[in-house]
Amino acid sequence: MATFKAGLVGVTGYAGMELARLLAGHEQIELVRATSRSDAGKTLCELYPSLTGTCLSELVITQPDPDDLAQACDIVFMAVPHGTAMDMAAKLLSRNVRVVDLSADFRLRDADIYAQWYGLEHREPQLIEDAVFGLPELYADKIKDAKLIANPGCYPTSAILGLYPALKAGIVETDGIVIDSKSGTTGAGRGANVGSLFCEVSDSFRAYNLGKHRHTPEIEQELSAISGEDLKISFNTHLLPINRGILSTSYTRLKKNLQLEDIFGLYSEVYSTAPWVRVLKRGTLPETRWVRGTMYCDIGLVVDPRTNRLIVVSAIDNLCRGASGQALANANLMLGLELSTGLNLAPLVP
Amino acid sequence: MATFKAGLVGVTGYAGMELARLLAGHEQIELVRATSRSDAGKTLCELYPSLTGTCLSELVITQPDPDDLAQACDIVFMAVPHGTAMDMAAKLLSRNVRVVDLSADFRLRDADIYAQWYGLEHREPQLIEDAVFGLPELYADKIKDAKLIANPGCYPTSAILGLYPALKAGIVETDGIVIDSKSGTTGAGRGANVGSLFCEVSDSFRAYNLGKHRHTPEIEQELSAISGEDLKISFNTHLLPINRGILSTSYTRLKKNLQLEDIFGLYSEVYSTAPWVRVLKRGTLPETRWVRGTMYCDIGLVVDPRTNRLIVVSAIDNLCRGASGQALANANLMLGLELSTGLNLAPLVP
Amino acid sequence: MATFKAGLVGVTGYAGMELARLLAGHEQIELVRATSRSDAGKTLCELYPSLTGTCLSELVITQPDPDDLAQACDIVFMAVPHGTAMDMAAKLLSRNVRVVDLSADFRLRDADIYAQWYGLEHREPQLIEDAVFGLPELYADKIKDAKLIANPGCYPTSAILGLYPALKAGIVETDGIVIDSKSGTTGAGRGANVGSLFCEVSDSFRAYNLGKHRHTPEIEQELSAISGEDLKISFNTHLLPINRGILSTSYTRLKKNLQLEDIFGLYSEVYSTAPWVRVLKRGTLPETRWVRGTMYCDIGLVVDPRTNRLIVVSAIDNLCRGASGQALANANLMLGLELSTGLNLAPLVP
Amino acid sequence: MATFKAGLVGVTGYAGMELARLLAGHEQIELVRATSRSDAGKTLCELYPSLTGTCLSELVITQPDPDDLAQACDIVFMAVPHGTAMDMAAKLLSRNVRVVDLSADFRLRDADIYAQWYGLEHREPQLIEDAVFGLPELYADKIKDAKLIANPGCYPTSAILGLYPALKAGIVETDGIVIDSKSGTTGAGRGANVGSLFCEVSDSFRAYNLGKHRHTPEIEQELSAISGEDLKISFNTHLLPINRGILSTSYTRLKKNLQLEDIFGLYSEVYSTAPWVRVLKRGTLPETRWVRGTMYCDIGLVVDPRTNRLIVVSAIDNLCRGASGQALANANLMLGLELSTGLNLAPLVP
């Protein structure tokens, strides 16, 4: 029944691992290439024993080769660091292969802002214009026609989905927004760094990159587009001793007094056709475990009358919704499949 | 497409929660009743917000009522404590409803041994004979014809699958076997006990019930049946600060010198048609995360020539394979479905 | 060498457990009474095997009895819930025993605000005026002369110490402050609640009590006193899957452009004589593990020029600095001992 | 009051970190040198912010230099990997500096066995005879006179203390002993390896090195010396998702029927003068948290009459008792100080 063939460049990181997990259960996209510079030659089950016995078990990892990928694949997922994705993406696009880029290389519409935040010049700026920001709730129609998807960052996915209805409806002030985000440790990647060791993370909690996380311009770009104003946000990140999950607490000021019920109604309306955004009932706040392993974005709403603030709590699985699952959803749309093909997953709780 | 209707007695525990997760993704068995004495009246998504938006979201929890269950259901899963399951099971069976009992009430063939280890007299001993021990790798044929399944305990599932090929082939001594098992904390249940609090379990490890765990006679019963000898084992349990997973390290003595390759071949042969038992390659030992959320039982084999021992390491997800997933596999067989319907799950790693 | 005798009312919670740990190593205060309604009759080492072999090992837990406590003790620590502490405190004070109350009963200067946030009338309002808020960095002189200490809440300790220098110096706006706090699970207490079970907390993260946590008025009271203005803050709490630790991220707006170095100098100056407040060097942000088991409050400072915000990150051990250790520091001062007696602890990392 | 000066070679690993923590609170041994090839030039508080404000905060890390160490130090702790410790130890001893070697280089009396298990020839075999195995409960007298201490391994410390009374009294068979050990992840070291990342260890459990862990000959050497017989044990290790702690479950067969009370009496008698070995009361089994951060070795005893086994559970903190704390205890004895100087620590629970 598989009708499309996919490649995965960069299988050794957590995004690659997650994409392999999801593709092992996808009946219409077959993973035919998985590449890695360091692990080429191994089978997937040697790299990830968890995949033993699945349909991907014996797939042999190869060196990344654009010609080979172009010949073998209808679509290629790029799960490599920013800066290295853009070159391969350009090569694949020139060979008429669809690309879903999980790195940051094509997310920012302005190459100068990219250069400023990522510290390197963009080498394929002409591709930026064609790239579609792959957030299905906002851009499904464009995604269907895209050849190149800039898959959103994990933090931006949680923040944008959380603030979208409020900013679109114009019920909150656009200045002074604070987003306090907390991410599980898969967000730090699978590189062998002392700071990511179990004994450096476990039973602890820390802030990092306050005021200067690279996802800031991505969030500002999208929230500005939504609100029609040039927004500046205070975006700040923390590291959680959990594997998966991002929870963002966003602080806004209401323009006028609104009841929680009204805002709940607004959010429910905006997301009425979005299969994965769950606006939780009054009094229920998200927990990262409730979205574990899935595409859900859970949203909790609080109105604080003492300070006249709307506080929005949004939670996603940073690996699935915030990276590989969203990439697969984009691929589904690009390939003419149902958005949720292979992605109707029940959260693993506990 | 759903062709069978199921009930779940005892939805508030972890086994009930897991069964709900699995049934939310099962296309041929529909959950039509979920009961709980304490939470009747709530919808499932109020009890478990993780199920919001799934097909089970709005199912209203009811009080357990055998007449109602019998009328509404083709099959009922009993996820209540031992001692309370047997009465309801009898009532349901008398109304011609198939029953999968996740408690220990029908696992032991000998009611006296049940009384001795569980501290209460069996009230439905006449049903014991008809009950089938629901371990598909050993008893698939009987399961297909059963009306009452005694769903195996979590520890026994890991221990029996780990030792089955060696004992069946007679390559190890039957006396002196030591099974050192470690379980995740879902195994302690969802009751509100101080000993199960996060701060009593986290960042710690302990042994419990050494030499007297109630799963001991269940393991001995099955291993004795396999080996044809009356076995006594030393079975000992520990509590892990993880959510899911059991890893059992079983120590046996080889009757004669055997190479690891031979034993690997034996195990692979025995489990060649078992979709979920993965005999890991030489040098690879199981990790509980590799089976997380799935039906897999991963087996690692070590021959220690210094002590002439065969050490078998077997890992399962105690909630899925060790309880609710196995219950669902048994239901599949009883209902004439494919064994693995709704259970082809890729492990959630990390 | 022990010269003072202490009682502990409520030994079974985490604050009681922590106080026992600290008193086991305190050479000038001897714990002579530990009370518990539920565990009276046991020795301390039966309740807490970790204390086996310490000087407190064989202390027999008693029922709480004000006459007995008054006769035996120079000072009594109240580690019982709010609402129940005030009565016992009054009885002990009338018997001329010094009291350190770890509950919230005497923290708020205004009995009406107490009634409003805690939902019950204060039964000993005449004692409120004499109670001293036991934060040594702010009130050491008053603490020395106090008979009744209102030991600060855990969250307020982190928030107040983090914002004190900035508000005192008037460099930040007093409106619009957001405090986003995250606490370890000991903060939820040692009660047997499903929501605090290992498998409900582990590998997850959640917000709770947004905009309505009871520590809000306590923080506002103290920050208002510091700044000389009637402050309203947005105070919001989250639950971390760690045992100990609070990290508060406080968002303020600078009144004028200030360099980080200037603010660092201000904070260092203000805390130059405070042995436990560590203003971390530029670029270093606190981690809860760095203060684990100690009295330290680590402060990290960030100036975000894009949004003209001063972000203050403050971390404490919620059990030691945020409760029992601070209670002991207050007792030291009340009894004429050195502030840090028995409290010169090196953080347990990892 | 500090009367002795100490050096620490290898401060960047977890053993070095722990030794720094302990020396920060030791009043008679002053750390005057801390060396590291990779971090020389930093202060200790830059490497470990947790030490900020302690007496060690501003100590500048140096390159390891035997001449400098010999000139500055009365005693040197070697916290470097096996194979590299022996050379430096020899140089320091030749300069009349006492050495406590935390590596395995001098633990095995037989250089051939060292070569066989560690895969390299011993380069200082003449020093082996003078080295004393630094387990105070067994060898306190020799330690007092030693110039070179072979600090025991973490696993051996737990296993030997657990089995010592039983083997010394001859109540258990010397063949067929199985030791199933579980260690926290600090035991894997502070090296940047993918396998030690938070997301590879957290919420999981695995076995490793079954039958071939390098601590095997060390345990066999000591247990053989105790029992007077040439023992072979089956020693097997597992990795726990906790920071600190080892729990060893040792399976032995009783030579004759003995009551638990008798064995409890034997153990209590043997350890009656050992300040840190706690033989727990009947029915109480060790938990690693009860010894966290301390020198305690907790022992739980179980007699299983069904299999006639004595099961011994022993728990230590692998970093403190199993490495750095034990090293410091040895240093205390070598320097003529009280054994427990600086080591009377109450466990950090939770």
Distance from CA of B244 to the nearest CA of D (A): 8
Closest CA to D276 of D340, D181, D349: D340
Q: What distances in angstroms separate CA A322 from CA A103, A128, A241, A295, D188, one per listed residue?
A: 12, 21, 18, 8, 31
Contact B177, B250 (CB under 8 A): yes
The confidence score (pLDDT) of residue A105 equals 98
Q: Kindly list the distances between the CA atom of residue C76 and the CA atoms of C19, C84, C129, C148, C331, in Å, as whole numbers in the listed order.
A: 12, 15, 19, 10, 9
pLDDT at D331 over 90: yes
CA A195, CA C306: separation in Å to the nearest integer? Answer: 28
Show residues of chain A in contact with C303, CB under 8 Å: 211
Biggest alpha carbon–alpha carbon distance for chain B: 62
Instruction: Supply the pTM of this predicted model.
Output: 0.97
Rounded (5°) CA angle C320-C323-C326: 75
Which residues does chain A have within 8 Å of residue C183's beta carbon, measured at their own beta carbons?
Answer: none
Closest-CA residue to C61 (of C2, C103, C8): C8
Are C294 and C317 spatial neighbours (Cβ–Cβ below 8 Å)?
Answer: yes
Q: How confident is the model at residue B2 (pLDDT cuts 50, 70, 90)?
A: low
Q: What is the pLDDT of residue D282?
A: 87
Domain B155-318 has CATH 3.30.950.10: no
The confidence score (pLDDT) of residue B309 equals: 98
pLDDT, one tens digit per residue, over B16-27 is 999 999 999 999
Q: How far is A293 from chain B (nearest CA, A)?
A: 7
Q: What backbone torsions phi and psi does residue C106 show, to the nearest 5 degrees?
A: -120, 20
pLDDT tops 70 at residue B1: no
| Beta pairing partners, C98 | C75
Whether residue B298 contacts residue B280, with contact meaning beta carbons closer than 8 Å, is answered with yes
Of D333, D274, D6, D329, residue with least CA distance to D146: D333
Residues in chain A with pLDDT values less than 50: none
Q: What is the pLDDT of residue C105?
A: 98
Q: Residue with structure tokens 């305990």?
A: B153
The subunits that touch chain A, with at least 3 C-beta pairs less than 8 Å apart, are B, C, D
Q: Catalytic residue positions of C?
A: 154
- Contact yes or no for B324/B332 (Cβ under 8 A): no
Among B73, B154, B297, B320, the one annotated catalytic: B154
Which residues of A are less than 8 Å from D196 in CB distance?
A: 197-199
Using alpha carbons, list the distances in angstroms from residue B38 to B10, B82, C196, D144.
Answer: 10, 18, 18, 64
Low-confidence ranges of chain C (pLDDT < 50): none
CB contact under 8 A, A249 and C233: no
Q: Give the closest of A203, A287, A293 to B348, CB-based.
A: A293
Task: Please judge whether B232 and D306 are an interchain contact, meaning their C-beta atoms are less than 8 angstroms apart.
Answer: yes
Q: Using alpha carbons, list the distances in angstroms from residue C227 to B113, C270, D15.
A: 73, 15, 46
Identify the residue whose tokens are 């929890």: B61
pLDDT above 70 coverage of chain D, percent: 99
Taking the CA atoms of residue C95, residue C99, residue C104 and residue C109 in that order, the dihedral angle to the nearest 10 degrees is: 80
DSSP codes joined into one string, A98-139? EEEE-SSTTT-S-HHHHHHHHSS--S-HHHHTT-EE--HHHH
Q: In 3D, which of D106, D11, D95, A180 has the Cα closest to residue C302?
A: A180
Nearest to D290 among C50, C287, C345 (CB): C50
CB contact under 8 A, D197 and A196: yes
Q: CA of B153 to nearest chain D CA: how many angstroms apart?
A: 20
In whole angstroms, what is the distance from residue C244 CA to residue A176 CA? Answer: 32
Q: Name the superfamily (CATH) of residues D4-130.
A: NAD(P)-binding Rossmann-like Domain (3.40.50.720)
The contacts of residue D173 (CB under 8 Å, 6+ apart) are D252, D253, D254, D255
C292 close to C347: Cβ distance less than 8 angstroms: yes
Is the pLDDT score of B35 beyond 90? yes
Which of these, D207, D210, D217, D243, lies nearest to D322 by C-alpha position? D243
Side-chain half-sphere of D275: how many Cα atoms within 13 Å? 17
pLDDT tens by residue, D60-110: 999 999 999 999 999 999 999 999 999 999 999 999 999 999 999 999 999
**Phi-psi label, residue B163: left if phi above 0, alpha if psi -120 to 50, beta otherwise:** alpha
Q: Is the ipTM of this complex over 0.90?
A: yes
What tokens does C147 get? 């008979």
Residue C137's SS3 state is helix
Q: What distance in Å separates the CA atoms of residue A79 and residue A77, rounded to the nearest whole number?
A: 6
Q: Whose structure tokens read 């060898």?
A: D139
* CA distance linking residue B298 with residue B276, whole number of Å: 8
Query: What percent of chain B is modeled with pLDDT above 90?
Result: 99
Q: What is the DSSP letter of C61?
A: P
**Parts of chain B belonging to CATH 3.40.50.720:** 4-130
Q: What is the pLDDT of residues B114-151, one digit of tens each?
A: 999 999 999 999 999 999 999 999 999 999 999 999 99
Which segments of chain D belong to CATH 3.30.360.10? 155-318
Among the partner residues C190, C203, C241, nearest to B197 by beta-carbon distance = C190
* pLDDT score, position D2: 67
Summarize pLDDT for A219-229 with one digit per residue, the tens: 999 999 999 99
Among chain C residues, the shortest Cα distance to B197 is held by C197
Mean pLDDT in residue range D243-260: 97
Report CA-CA distances (Å) from B235 to A194, B135, C167. Answer: 38, 19, 62
Q: What's the pLDDT score for residue B282? A: 87
The pLDDT score that the predictor gives to residue C282 is: 87
Check C202 against B198: CB less than 8 A apart. yes
Cβ contact (<8 Å) for D249 and B240?
no
Q: Which two tokens stand for residue A200?
A: 């450096």
